[in-house]
């Protein structure tokens, strides 16, 4: 950049990493042809990692100023850069996301978003699998993209302000992680992610077994993460895996996460999550089982340095999911108090997906019970709630009323007795037992 405030020395002064007098003295020591960054490293003024991060932030700022500018750009192939220049260890998608977050006004980004268009996952695998560092809002929004909702519908589903929503979606579009389409994508080989089923109440135990509750949690967690994992990790293999290992692992995972398992009691509410995992595993297998496609993918992984995911980054993402779950539940509580059950439902579903805690599942079940067709769904959530917290009295009593209403007195009575085991003087439980006898 030729802009004075964007030059590296002035940038570091403005960031408080370099004193103005120190800048002047350092410039006096600069040898002919020596890059200022090399001089800073030689003098020990900054560490290499810190300098790299500042160069990335400076590039993002410059890019944020170029994005809304009324100018055109042209790429000229064949130009040779200075071999001494620093090559930033970030993808272009990452830089674009950083730049858009810096934009003070989201109005220009509104032009990128067609309210009637469908928001779809990027069809280009190289763009979709690029290494980026998403903010909490971007990660959450990306998790809600399924190709079947329009921009307007998606806006109503997420608990963001208008400005935060526009910035997050515009960032994902500009970085190439999602794309807008005039119609939902045609994907006949993929399984449907949602399926409404009539209420069929079969003979089951009162609460889930520990291994069932653990698998329920595992499916929820994997469904929220797997589409961000590279293909080898999806199969639980290393890049050096043999074709036999790939075939065997695919067969194992396909059985473990096939959507047909949604007929099992503890997985009834997770058909879409099972399908999401199954489809992600199938995408990985389709590429890695084909030698030519695998070779291209391996080359991409080497270039993008995305062969592994940093543990700390995964921890940050998980923390962001937990924060969003808490925010969604808090907003849902307010909507429930105002009588807006339709608005609370998607928020509680989001909260239960990212942080399936017992009290959240209880709230979700109570909302679902207002729909006569969702009895099985509500039952599964109530059973999961008491499996996670065996002394959650409101959930046991809700289960008791659920069965009593359906004239299943013995099941209802068993739920009441669970409460009286640890709280023998509970007035509501005693009254329910009196009504049942």
- Residue 268 burial by Cβ neighbours in a 10 Å radius (0-12, 13-18, 19+): buried
How far is Cα 437 from Cα 428, in angstroms, rounded to an integer? Answer: 15
pLDDT of residue 147: 83
pLDDT of residue 261: 86
User: pLDDT, tens digit, for every residue of 176-228?
Assistant: 888 888 887 765 323 333 333 444 444 455 567 778 878 887 888 888 788 77
Torsion over CA: 262, 267, 272, 273 (sign): negative
Enter the tokens of residue 139. Answer: 């990660």
Enter the tokens of residue 108. Answer: 């220009």
Beta bridge partners, 180, equal 119
Query: Do the beta carbons of residue 150 and residue 115 sit within 8 Å?
Result: yes
User: pLDDT, tens digit, for every residue of 419-430?
Assistant: 999 999 999 999
How far is Cα 8 from Cα 38, in angstroms, rounded to an integer? Answer: 11
What residues contact residue 127 under an 8 Å CB cut-off, 6+ apart? Answer: 93, 176, 177
pLDDT of residue 314: 56
3 state SS of 178 = strand
pLDDT of residue 313: 58
Is the pLDDT higher at 241 or at 36? 241
On the question of pLDDT at 362 being above 90, the answer is yes
Pick the CATH number of 210-309 from 3.40.50.2300, 1.25.10.10, 2.20.25.90, 1.10.287.110: 1.10.287.110
Q: What is the pTM of this model?
A: 0.43
pLDDT of residue 192: 34
Of the listed ranges 46-55, 89-98, 194-203, 343-352, the least confidently predicted one is 194-203
3 state SS of 368 = helix
Mean pLDDT, rounded, of the chain: 81
pLDDT of residue 80: 67
Residue carrying the six token digits 């004075």:
4
pLDDT of residue 269: 73
On the question of pLDDT at 411 being above 80, the answer is yes
- Other CB atoms within 10 A of residue 51 CB: 19
Cα 82 versus chain centre, distance: 39
Taking Cα atoms as reference points, which of 84, 125, 91, 81 lies closest to residue 303?
A: 91
User: pLDDT, tens digit, for every residue of 294-341?
Assistant: 888 888 777 655 444 444 555 676 677 778 888 888 988 888 888 888
How far is Cα 111 from Cα 164, in angstroms, rounded to an integer? Answer: 15
C-alpha distances out from residue 76 to 79, 80, 86, 95, 431, Å: 7, 10, 20, 20, 81
DSSP state of 68: T
pLDDT mean over 34-41? 81
On the question of pLDDT at 371 being above 50, the answer is yes
Band of residue 245 on the pLDDT scale cut at 50, 70, 90 = very high
pLDDT mean over 26-39? 80
| Dihedral over alpha carbons 325, 328, 331, 333 (to 10 degrees) | -70
CATH 1.10.287.110 residue spans of the chain: 210-309
If phi > 0 it is left, if psi is from -120 to 50 it is alpha, else beta; for residue 281 that is alpha
């Amino acid at each position: 950049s030729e802009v004075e405030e964007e030059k590296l020395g002035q940038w570091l002064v403005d960031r408080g990493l370099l004193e103005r007098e120190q800048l002047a003295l350092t410039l006096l020591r600069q040898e002919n042809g020596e890059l200022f960054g090399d001089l800073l490293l030689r003098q020990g003024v900054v560490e290499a990692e810190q300098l790299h991060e500042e160069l990335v932030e400076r590039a993002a700022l410059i890019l944020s100023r170029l994005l809304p500018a009324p100018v055109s750009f042209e790429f000229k192939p064949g130009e040779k850069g200075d071999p001494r220049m620093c090559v930033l260890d970030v993808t272009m998608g990452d830089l674009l996301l950083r730049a858009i977050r810096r934009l003070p006004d989201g109005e220009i980004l509104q032009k990128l978003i067609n309210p009637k268009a469908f928001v779809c996952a990027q069809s280009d695998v190289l763009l979709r699998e690029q290494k980026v560092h998403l903010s909490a809002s971007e990660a959450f929004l990306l998790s809600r993209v399924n190709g079947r909702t329009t921009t307007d519908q998606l806006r109503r589903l997420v608990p963001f302000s208008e400005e935060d929503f526009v910035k997050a979606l515009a960032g994902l579009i500009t970085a190439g992680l999602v794309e807008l389409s005039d119609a939902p994508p045609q994907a006949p080989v993929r399984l449907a992610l949602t399926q409404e089923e009539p209420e069929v109440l079969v003979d089951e135990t009162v609460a889930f077994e520990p291994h069932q509750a653990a698998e329920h949690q595992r499916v929820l967690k994997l469904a929220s993460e797997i589409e961000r994992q590279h293909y080898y990790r999806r199969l639980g293999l290393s890049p050096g895996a043999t074709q036999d290992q790939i075939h065997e692992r695919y067969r194992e995972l396909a059985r473990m996460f096939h959507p047909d398992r949604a007929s099992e009691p503890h997985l009834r509410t997770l058909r879409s999550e099972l399908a999401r995992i199954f489809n992600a595993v199938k995408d990985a297998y389709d590429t890695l089982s084909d030698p030519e496609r695998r070779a291209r993918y391996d080359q991409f992984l080497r270039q993008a340095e995305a062969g592994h995911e940093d543990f700390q980054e995964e921890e940050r993402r998980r923390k962001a999911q937990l924060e969003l779950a808490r925010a969604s539940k808090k907003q849902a509580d307010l909507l429930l108090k105002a009588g807006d059950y339709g608005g609370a439902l998607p928020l509680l579903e989001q909260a239960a997906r990212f942080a399936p805690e017992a009290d959240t599942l209880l709230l979700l079940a109570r909302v679902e019970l207002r729909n006569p067709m969702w009895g099985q769904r509500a039952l599964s959530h109530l059973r999961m709630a008491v499996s996670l917290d065996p002394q959650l009295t409101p959930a046991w009593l809700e289960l008791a009323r659920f069965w009593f209403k359906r004239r299943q007195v013995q099941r209802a009575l068993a739920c009441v007795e669970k409460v009286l085991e640890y709280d023998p003087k509970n007035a509501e439980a005693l009254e329910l037992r009196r009504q049942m006898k």
